[in-house]
A = this chain, B = another copy of it.
């Protein structure tokens, strides 16, 4: 047991080398490949790469937004906590409204989940933001409804909710939305807060 690697940077480097050796990343542009490697690192499954999809220009748009100081709007506290603040290029705010006290009543009034209702409370921060949805399909569905109804437009959307009910459908809806907002998704059931935060961290700063 005493011979395990204890150097954090060395662990990252070796992990990323294993992922690049094993995963099929040939579909991706170079800047997408870096994001894909970190997402695989977060889930421990090289086969997940087959489900990643990026709209043209997504990484460039999302990175430019962060450089310009865009806030990162998350659907879950776990996503927000997974963002490495030290990597953010402009002291960007990382926001999640899920635990605000008005959310349960708002969700009941709107007839939806708390995760969906929480995005109503972020409406005034949508313009130019980076959206990071890694948990709740209803949050992604609700955001798409807000945007279709004319809400202010984010710079880019990470749509990566995980699960068995609505997750796949919400991500298909994002990639087929025709809103003209660059997106990244994990098709199907896979996704989650760790993969989503990992994607944000890769966008925030290339490399280790």
Q: Which residues of A contact B (CB under 8 A)?
A: 1-2, 4-8, 11, 14-15, 18-19, 41-45, 77-78, 80-82, 111-114, 116, 137-138, 141, 144-145, 162-167, 169-170, 173, 188-194, 197
Contact = CB atoms under 8 A, between A and B. Distances in A.
Contacts of A11: 113, 138, 165-166
Contacts of A193: 78, 82, 193-194
Contact of A163 (B1, B44, B111): B44
A112 B5 CA distance: 8
A10 to B, nearest CB: 8
Nearest to A176: B1
25 contacts: A1-B173, A4-B141, A4-B166, A5-B138, A6-B112, A6-B138, A7-B113, A11-B138, A14-B164, A14-B165, A15-B163, A18-B165, A19-B164, A43-B190, A44-B189, A77-B81, A78-B78, A78-B193, A78-B194, A78-B197, A80-B81, A81-B81, A162-B194, A192-B194, A194-B194
Nearest to A44: B189
Contacts of A77: 81-82
Nearest to A188: B44
Counted per complex, copies of this chain come to 2
A11 to B, nearest CB: 5
Contacts of A5: 138, 165-166
B116 A6 contact: yes
Contacts of A170: 4
Contacts of A7: 113
Contacts of A189: 44-45
A142 to B, nearest CB: 9
Contacts of A2: 145
A80 B111 CA distance: 29
A194 to B, nearest CB: 5
